[in-house]
Amino acid sequence: MNDALKATLVAALKSWIESANDPASDFPIQNLPFGIFSDAINAQPRAGVAIGDWIVDLSVLEDARLIDGHGTFNATRLNDFIALGQQTWRDVRIALSALLAQGNATLRDDADLRRRALVPRKDATMHLPVEIPGYTDFYSSREHATNVGSMFRDPKNALLPNWSELPVGYNGRASSVVVSGTKVRRPNGQIKLPNDERPVFSACRKLDIELETGFIVGKGNALGEPIPCEDAEAHIFGMVLLNDWSARDIQQWEYVPLGPFNSKGFATTISPWIITLDALEPFRTATPAQEPQPLAYLRHEGDHAFDIELEVTLRPEGAQRATTISRTNFRLMYWSMAQQLAHHTVGGCNTRVGDLMGSGTISGPTPDSCGSLLESTWNGQRPIELEEGGERAFLLDGDEITLRGWCQGEGYRVGFGECAGEILPARG
């Protein structure tokens, strides 16, 4: 079967859940992302899959013997399910796709089972989908790295010599990863003002966003056993949106010589639904040309980027309308997820199920495609004008930032939902 025919067949899929057939829905039958939710009727967090305006309670369907998660769907995190392996993930999605497909009466016509198995998304509370043993953040957008290097170093030598040879990254703080909707408190820390000899202790004055995606490790590796680049995607369960909140003034003072610390460790927000690589497969595309050719352990054949549209909005406290402050695309990323994971493990580092790997800020070639305010306002020199008046150089208390992402198909989209957070004042 050729790729065009596959795409036609995928696009033709419809569900008996009508809201899933809306071309603007993030969650059609082609998506079926996994998450952890609870609701007023059942306060126990448990596994679910989003479709249209509904959540399918996987524990109910497993009790009815319609899907098989080996007893993992009542857990408060997805780690045990993910650890069952890629074939199980696929088997569950295939079974769900069949149950939810237009014309399948098994669940549709069983009123009691349908009442117990389907929960309105608007009535659900979403939880962190996985227990995250470790968090790594990369720096893999050439446009972002060039902007930052030009701003703080020589524009003619914006990229350091190692940037085009390896996926630069650092180990972040897993304990402060939070789910979308969690309010984020402005951090305090040391700030070195330009004309002062010593730093001051202050609330962050240059609070920023970082528009990123993240991937969830689905299959770990043993200590001392690297993951080959060509096998790396089989170790990835799926992707989320990620906002790696950044205290730029704290970071500027602390990052030499070991990199970010308090400027990044206060919060990282991820979206609640994990989109599987199988759902993203129709949107696979080529990565940008890599020059020089990577070393052998970072080489892989074929297409390893995904055509994911991304946008960021900012809504000030009390505002009726949000302002779109960035639009870009994941396909611009210079280093692929497979290369990131291969490099992460090449020295023998072991990864574990649930590990989170951030892409790094995703920026495009134009000011309106920058993934951070640092870039789009050029470190505050060119503030952004807001829809209802006012401007922003960096975030103010009460501002709400929302990340969205989707892959656009023919008459449907595979969406990520929202990754949102509101800024609270610093502690006095």
Distance CA 262, CA 246 (A): 9
What residues are paired with 327 via a beta bridge?
311
CA distances in angstroms from 249 to 201, 379, 398, 422, listed in the order given: 11, 10, 19, 20
Distance CA 12, CA 282 (A): 13
Written as six digits, the tokens of 179 are 């789910």
> Rounded to an integer, what is the distance from CA 141 to the centroid of its chain?
15
Binding residues for Mg(2+): 244, 264, 268
Residues serving a catalytic function are 144
Distance CA 293, CA 333 (A): 16
Distance CA 388, CA 366 (A): 23
- DSSP tag of 281: G
Distance CA 149, CA 141 (A): 12
Q: Note whether 336 and 423 are within 8 A (CB).
A: no
Longest Cα pair distance anywhere in the chain, in angstroms?
74
Sequence-ordered list of residues with C-beta below 8 angstroms from that of 184, at least 6 positions apart, any chain: 178, 245, 266, 267, 269, 421, 422, 423, 424
